[in-house]
Amino acid sequence: MVITEPMKDLAAAAALGVDVVSVPAAATMALEAGLDSTALRQLAGLTEREIDAASVLLRQALGDLGEPIPTKRDAVMHLARGVAGAIVRGEVSPVSGAREIWQLSLRADERHLPELDTFVYGASEWESRPEARAAFEDGIRRQARTLVDG
């Protein structure tokens, strides 16, 4: 069974302990794509007030579908590729995307993810080095393309 991209995003979020408000929407998309389980249906029907139950149901739905919870490193890299894609498509500014990737990198068990160094450096130096912002943006865009292309 092929797991949909929204479910992979949710599996990564679950691995990192990130609260995801979009769980019901992603579960609905997974159902529409042909995936099915009792827990997945329950996730799709959650209201905002019930979102606290999402973590347990999400883990159950992923188990039902045979999708393992990724390692923290794999989860960070998966979500970082999504942000990098948004940078490449121009949906997110390079510095905003780099900041988001930097925050994701802090959730990994490993303290050093060399694939994300350019983002962390650009985001951390942005405020103190305004004269280098154009170079940071170029570097972030190039590294985003590299990350997306794998």
In tens, the pLDDT along 79-119 reads 899 999 999 999 999 999 999 999 999 988 777 899 999 99
CA-nearest of 112, 114, 113, 123 to 87 is 123
The answer to whether residue 36 scores a pLDDT higher than 90 is: no
Predicted pLDDT at 114: 93
Q: For the chain, which residues make up each domain, given as ranges?
A: 5-64, 72-149
pLDDT in tens, 44-80: 888 877 777 777 788 888 888 887 888 999 999 998 9
Residue entry with tokens 């121009």:
90
The pLDDT of residue 3: 56
Q: What's the pLDDT score for residue 17? A: 72
Q: Determine if the pTM surpasses 0.85.
A: no
Is the confidence at residue 1, as pLDDT, over 50? Answer: no
pLDDT (0 to 100) of residue 86: 93
Geometric angle at alpha carbon 67, from 88 and 116, rounded to 5°: 30
Q: Which residue has the higher pLDDT, 24 or 2?
A: 24
- CA distances 129 to 37, 71, 124, 126, Å, are 51, 35, 10, 6
| Phi-psi map region of 12: left, alpha, beta (phi>0 left; psi -120 to 50 alpha) | alpha
Per-residue model confidence (pLDDT) at position 83: 92
Q: Which tokens go with 119? A: 């983002």
CA distances from 36 to 6, 28, 104, 112, 142 (A): 14, 10, 30, 37, 39
